[in-house]
Amino acid sequence: MIETERLVLRKPLLVDADALQAPIASLERWLKEWEANALGYFTVELRTGDVVGRVGFHVFDMRTWTLATFADAGEDAIVELGWTLLPEQRGNGYATEAARAARGWGAREQLISLIEPANLASAAVAKRLGAVPHATVTVSGADTVVWEHPR
């Protein structure tokens, strides 16, 4: 568990599916990522217990830009920091606060965020975190900007 001034980041539970507006299958996948990689997505709550979104990590294989495990991707593994807030929670600075806290917890030699060009709000969060656009890759058939975080 990670705590900030306003937020609590904790490992997700299957019962979070409704609050996160995510299918159970997604939460099951996130929990499997925790088991395989010792990192994954956190559920983000206000200190009141209200869920505001998720933030955390995926491992990608840079050869294919698909989700992977460290074991499967080997030297081609790269860790992505991502965030998604519930629509009604956006604009409060929670994404930046949660992502900064998660990044500090999961510090890596190289950390990226994958953001579609039209997602200006996420690009703004990445900028506030000090990340810079580095390249464009194809992820799930869509052009996606690779933002590199400071080391």
**HEC sequence for 89-101:** HCCCCHHHHHHHH
Q: Which fold would CATH assign to domain 2-106? A: Aminopeptidase (3.40.630)
Q: Are the CB atoms for 12 and 54 separated by under 8 Å?
A: yes
pLDDT, residue 106, reads 81
**CB-based contacts of 119: which residues, under 8 Å, 6+ apart?**
none
pLDDT, residue 102, reads 96
| Per-residue pLDDT tens over the stretch 36-95 | 999 999 999 999 999 999 999 999 999 999 999 999 999 999 999 999 999 999 999 999
In which element (H, E) is residue 26 found?
Answer: helix 24-37
pTM of the model: 0.93
Q: Are the CB atoms for 62 and 45 separated by under 8 Å?
A: no
Sorted by where each begins, the domain ranges of the chain are: 2-106
